Structure 1
């Protein structure tokens, strides 16, 4: 019976974010379990890595929030579902979820969503718009933090006939494995980024947006120098401004004010994150708003790197505080500076022990195989298989 399951995942764009990689991983897991796997998307960088013999791609403008296009997508999905005889439609974002909802109502197919983030809900209309993620037969929360967020903020939209459950997001532990790092690629990156190997390297992956907390990070580095008299370090900020020129200027002005321009390296993009992580002695995530999951924290631990993260959202679930990493108060750069100082004082063996605990933690709880298996089992329950 499982061989008859046909799953259509719908996502705006197939990029390298957490929702997108989760969609990609599940899409390739399903054919290995005798299922038909389809993705509807408008495009994205990850498309070129999709194995076309396993996963069928259908291009539609599902990234659009234009009401006319959303209605058009509803009817196009209606015909796709009937033509392909789809059993489950799994929406991973709000705009396409509305289109999926309508098409599933018309076809009588099972509608599933994954609630990936906290989403903005400053107005009642916005909260109503977000509530589409709870109008499915099954809503998957990627962390306990998101599960609690839904219950606290969307209780009136929860239907006891529908199911809400936690399935932790996972990462590919073969891809994020320090044993699989190419020395050639690592040395190439060291050369390209102008990394000085005799210095303690602090890696901060995160696109340039205010809620990622770059300003707190820079203040912490200044404290590291002024209060703790540490100078033998370099920091790499890895992430694109994505057109946020005003915020980028603010961050660069702050760096100049603290005279840190020779300490900080800006890298726009890296298409090999495991190799990037391998260059860091410690990885930092400074979000000032809760992360739904905290992918950087998980990837860093998988790569056996100590992680320092703000004590918000999903990171509180993924990090074993003072064992596989360290949590600090999100608005306290002084505490962040103090933790960085302590880690700089530790020897390589101690840092490696922390890293080993991190990988063990991720293998136990955040393996992509577990995520895919749990989702597949949830599909079967919805279909009474």
Structure 2
């Protein structure tokens, strides 16, 4: 018989460990779960090196502990074992949840020292080579529960790392469909981005690619597709590349050079990091997610659907699960010709056709990828592990000697 998180007494303290709180799906999920833990009456702690999302985390009611858990330096990682152990012991932590590899090794050691349950979420790609990388990544398959963000990721974990199948839980990434709702975005927010990005209007169809500016996210493929459309005489569109380059200046320079060389300056813009993604989606007509490698999940495509926007995704990985023919189009990864054809198809579909496809996407996201469903499933994993640990305490469980 399963136990609910709310039924546990005393209410649990959960420590999530993540490298930083700058941007990305793992970071967003950390904050979303902090909300859920607090709402369920628990204490939410996070250890990270900090970042631009820290204020949002604290607004969710979580307590943050700054720590160099992002470091891959073996000496720092060893020191982090002691730091996390002391933190978890002092705060009477009931469960440690690691969301990345470097902090995962330190968190695993701390959890084993204290005999508290250890959970991992495999947010990233599951590599099968080289051997040293597979071993390094294997910490994410060593949890008492291993959460996969898609069936695709779960299957790769099972094949490459082969943990006990009973420890693998598939919990799709959830989206806050109240925040990612076009009706909730006031016109002033859209107008602000319109002014800043000089985008939208003039009857142009606006395509948005929202992702970290890194090669595997497909920005170069999107720019090439835009060039192909322009060469074919199609110019009634704009392409916005929104995302943080995180120091990848060489790739940004490469994109800018290609944009200039193809004469795309009036069509393609690199607009940088965006703090208001619902407004960015609302400004757009179509969202692109043309990753050249398989996405473990593909958060942007689900957020876009929640916002009522048609999507064009790569036909690979987790995006095969999140997008269907009623809500968007899929093209082979890295195929700029196919991407250009899909973009033209949605241009030709017209505003009404795009709105109808977007409405189907909104219904799809609400039915299958709600934040509530993700939170409920994750809290259930926590609750069962904590209940089992409390029922069968191990000798020497130092943090369990004194329960306030």
TM-score interval, smaller chain:
over 0.9
Write the mapping of 1:211-360 to structure 2, written as runs, cut at 5 A.
Answer: 211-227=216-232, 229-321=233-325, 323-360=326-363
Using the TM superposition, name which of 254-263 and 289-298 deviates more.
254-263
Whether contact under 8 Å (2:126, 2:157) holds in the other structure is: no
Structure 2: distance between partners of 1:109 and 1:240: 36
Query: Is 1:197 the counterpart of 2:197 in the alignment?
Result: no
Per the alignment, do residues 355 and 36 of structure 1 end up closer, same or farther by CA in structure 2, a change over 3 Å counting? same
Whether contact under 8 Å (2:46, 2:64) holds in the other structure is: yes
Structure 2: distance between partners of 1:249 and 1:36: 44
| Contiguous gaps of at least 5 residues in structure 1 | none
Whether contact under 8 Å (1:3, 1:35) holds in the other structure is: no
Partner of 1:16: 23
Structure 2: distance between partners of 1:275 and 1:256: 28
Deviation of 1:331 after TM superposition, in Å, equals 2.7
Using the TM superposition, name which of 3-12 and 287-296 deviates more.
3-12
Write the mapping of 1:157-168 to structure 2, written as runs, cut at 5 A.
Answer: 158-159=163-164, 163-168=167-172
Partner of 1:151: 158
Query: Is 1:183 the counterpart of 2:187 in the alignment?
Result: yes
Q: Secondary structure at the match of 1:275?
A: helix
Deviation of 1:19 after TM superposition, in Å, equals 0.5
Deviation of 1:224 after TM superposition, in Å, equals 1.7
Deviation of 1:53 after TM superposition, in Å, equals 7.9
Deviation of 1:92 after TM superposition, in Å, equals 0.7
| Contiguous gaps of at least 5 residues in structure 2 | 1-6, 389-404
Structure 1: distance between partners of 2:243 and 2:35: 28
Q: Secondary structure at the match of 1:338?
A: helix
Deviation of 1:16 after TM superposition, in Å, equals 2.6
CA RMSD of aligned residues (A): 1.7
Q: TM-score, normalised by structure 1?
A: 0.94
Write the mapping of 1:82-161 to structure 2, written as runs, cut at 5 A.
Answer: 82-120=89-127, 122-155=129-162, 158-159=163-164
Using the TM superposition, name which of 254-263 and 36-45 deviates more.
254-263
Whether contact under 8 Å (2:34, 2:60) holds in the other structure is: no
Q: Secondary structure at the match of 1:113?
A: strand
Q: Over residues 281-330 of structure 1, what are the superposed CA-to-partner deviations in whole Å (9 max), with x where a residue is unaligned?
A: 11111110111111110111011011001111111111012x11110111
Runs of 4+ aligned structure 1 residues displaced above 6 Å come to none
Deviation of 1:246 after TM superposition, in Å, equals 2.2
Whether contact under 8 Å (2:172, 2:374) holds in the other structure is: yes
Structure 2: distance between partners of 1:238 and 1:282: 14
Whether contact under 8 Å (2:200, 2:283) holds in the other structure is: no
Q: Secondary structure at the match of 2:173?
A: coil
Deviation of 1:261 after TM superposition, in Å, equals 1.9
Deviation of 1:256 after TM superposition, in Å, equals 2.6
